[in-house]
Structure 1
């Protein structure tokens, strides 16, 4: 037995892919090379689980609807602490359907990987933000949500059936919801919606489904790090998932966060704690990672503990704030430091 360690998802794109994305031409071949190189570098580091680094996704959030005709660009605005913003599209007509499914990315990664492949998908709660506040004529919100639940289930189930090591729902909007609505009612709605999807899976299937939370990481900034994490965590652990991936290394009071996790972690779930900070340009050492794992093990059962990065390194394709080499150096520190911690704990 050892302590499992997994990446969250995105890795900065190589320069030739970034250039191809701005050229307006066919980028398929360049994306394929980037995926192969990403997996090769993960495996050379010794990562026991790999991802495609989201090299072919336009963003972690909008991949299912890229190219959908019934979208307008002026949807919900997400402001970041440094002043920059991201904007979601909004739906203009129904019915809502995914244009692209995550199985496409998964199968492409599996074709070149020799290690188990993890697949990230967007949580339905994030996509629910695309429905306009003033509604859509002839397509009520409840019908949209029913369609969204069906599509999200199909996205996850397709990846499970295709042999994904685990399917991870990206739920960065959870903490953000408390900034938009301090009462917590939006967060309650998000949790209920995500559970409508998760409850369609068996206990055995949910053991291969996880949820990731962080305060949003984009261009070395966040959208909700100023929100008290302990307001989110109890609700997070109400989600019917078998694995939780929680940002931790960038939290100012990690002991407090760990105590809340320990109090609310479901008895049949595993928690992966973030031990590297993608927004910090300094590369952690393996010894630092080891110490962070050992600190977590003082609060959490070691047999239900794993490690991860706090968040993806480049969730939007145009984010060049972190270099590709820095990202993989941090991954190496995570892998090696987790192994040191496992040895120290007698695994």
Structure 2
């Protein structure tokens, strides 16, 4: 993941699904009649399409766009046992502070509607078929393609626990440990197939104003410290250089006044084994936090690669390439040009059929990401 001649580009993972894909995955999710073979082909074709569009946009490290998944965390119920039904929604603390905005967002379709199953039984591997299909689709789409690499997303134990509450295990620790051991098979399967593993861990940021909104700072930090320990144990057999981890504060347009500062969680986040860290720096609430990286640069391990979000994922503004380059150069000045990859704040379609950025604008944003990286590369290597 290091680069010696230019700034590489990537994104967080999810990309818009077509109407056919969205209808198919929701029919499957809701137990409605659907043609399994037809849906499999629709998803495979969609993966090929989004890979092609990523390459055309100039993305170097590409993914399957999470085309087969209804969401980045609840998909696990089809792969591991113990999850059924639905669970109450936890409203982010910032939306509780602005109830009129929260109501408006719900009425305007700004809140996705899907099931969040809860843990009601013992957790174990249920079926590896969905993962193997995803791996095969991405492998086929990348066959013969000229890219720097491919990655695949997987939910961290902590984010699974964030959205899907435990009603079976005697303690939260026991729940996390069971999740880690069951998900280990998926993590290792992705790497063994030749792809980089991206661990999605919004629990480390978003969790503060959702799962742990009533906790003290000390309780919250102790909890996410445990989340990182469990994640590290689940990935113990994987080379850190084959892994990247994404943290965020919630991929939704909203006040975000309750977001915990990066400076608070960074020491814990840096203990995670994955070599690359993807984090938000493009949106207005976290755009200043490049200074946190600067002020904590002595504590950032030399083998860590930074993947700052230099493109916002909740706005239809297409950033100017010069602004993208400026954001990239800030981080290159701090940790060195070889240790920076240009990324996005979050995914563009965290939930199937839901995304605040219109599909055609997504590709324009990824194109400007590549254009900005090219400008930064010329600045950093042009005179070399």
Looking at structure 2, the residues matched to 76 and 263 of structure 1 have their Cα atoms a distance apart, in angstroms, of 40
In the other structure, the counterpart of 1:285 is 320
Q: Once the 2 structures are TM-superposed, how far is the Cα of residue 227 of structure 1 from its aligned partner? A: 2.8
In the other structure, the counterpart of 1:49 is 61
Is 2:269 the counterpart of 1:269?
no
- Tell me, what secondary structure is at the counterpart of 2:61? coil
The correspondence of residues 139-218 of structure 1 with structure 2, limited to 5 A, is 141-164=172-195, 166-179=196-209, 180=213, 181-199=215-233, 201=235, 205-218=239-252
Bigger mean CA offset, 31-40 vs 144-153: 144-153
Would the alpha carbon gap of residues 95 and 17 (structure 1) be closer, same or farther in structure 2, given more than 3 Å must change? Answer: closer
- Tell me, what secondary structure is at the counterpart of 2:13? coil
Looking at structure 1, the residues matched to 182 and 25 of structure 2 have their Cα atoms a distance apart, in angstroms, of 27
Looking at structure 2, the residues matched to 172 and 201 of structure 1 have their Cα atoms a distance apart, in angstroms, of 17
- Tell me, what secondary structure is at the counterpart of 2:301? coil
Q: Which runs of 5+ in 1 are unaligned?
A: none
Contact 2:200 2:245 in 1 (8 A): yes
The correspondence of residues 80-159 of structure 1 with structure 2, limited to 5 A, is 81=95, 82-83=101-102, 84=106, 88-99=116-127, 102-113=131-142, 114=145, 115=147, 116-129=149-162, 132=165, 135-136=167-168, 141-159=172-190
Bigger mean CA offset, 316-325 vs 224-233: 224-233
Looking at structure 2, the residues matched to 336 and 98 of structure 1 have their Cα atoms a distance apart, in angstroms, of 43
Is 2:104 the counterpart of 1:73?
no
Deviation per CA, 1:151-206: give whole Å up to 9, x if none: 22211111110000x21111112112322234243443333333334246569711
Q: Which runs of 5+ in 2 are unaligned?
A: 96-100
Looking at structure 2, the residues matched to 18 and 293 of structure 1 have their Cα atoms a distance apart, in angstroms, of 34
Would the alpha carbon gap of residues 213 and 327 (structure 1) be closer, same or farther in structure 2, given more than 3 Å must change? Answer: same
Q: Give me the TM-score of the superposition, normalised by structure 1.
A: 0.88
Q: Once the 2 structures are TM-superposed, how far is the Cα of residue 69 of structure 1 from its aligned partner? A: 6.6
Would the alpha carbon gap of residues 162 and 261 (structure 1) be closer, same or farther in structure 2, given more than 3 Å must change? Answer: farther
Going by fraction, where is helix more abundant, 1 or 2? Answer: 2
Contact 1:124 1:148 in 2 (8 A): yes
Looking at structure 2, the residues matched to 74 and 223 of structure 1 have their Cα atoms a distance apart, in angstroms, of 24
Q: Give me the TM-score of the superposition, normalised by structure 2.
A: 0.80
Would the alpha carbon gap of residues 140 and 292 (structure 1) be closer, same or farther in structure 2, given more than 3 Å must change? Answer: closer
In the other structure, the counterpart of 1:303 is 338
Match among 14, 21, 42 for residue 17 of structure 1: 21
In the other structure, the counterpart of 2:98 is none
Q: Once the 2 structures are TM-superposed, how far is the Cα of residue 12 of structure 1 from its aligned partner? A: 1.3
Aligned residues: 343
Looking at structure 1, the residues matched to 15 and 265 of structure 2 have their Cα atoms a distance apart, in angstroms, of 26
Contact 1:284 1:330 in 2 (8 A): yes
RMSD value, Cα: 2.8
Would the alpha carbon gap of residues 273 and 229 (structure 1) be closer, same or farther in structure 2, given more than 3 Å must change? Answer: same
Contact 1:275 1:289 in 2 (8 A): yes
Would the alpha carbon gap of residues 120 and 269 (structure 1) be closer, same or farther in structure 2, given more than 3 Å must change? Answer: same
Bigger mean CA offset, 317-326 vs 198-207: 198-207
Q: Once the 2 structures are TM-superposed, how far is the Cα of residue 77 of structure 1 from its aligned partner? A: 2.1
Contact 2:123 2:182 in 1 (8 A): no
- Tell me, what secondary structure is at the counterpart of 1:158? helix
Contact 1:103 1:162 in 2 (8 A): no
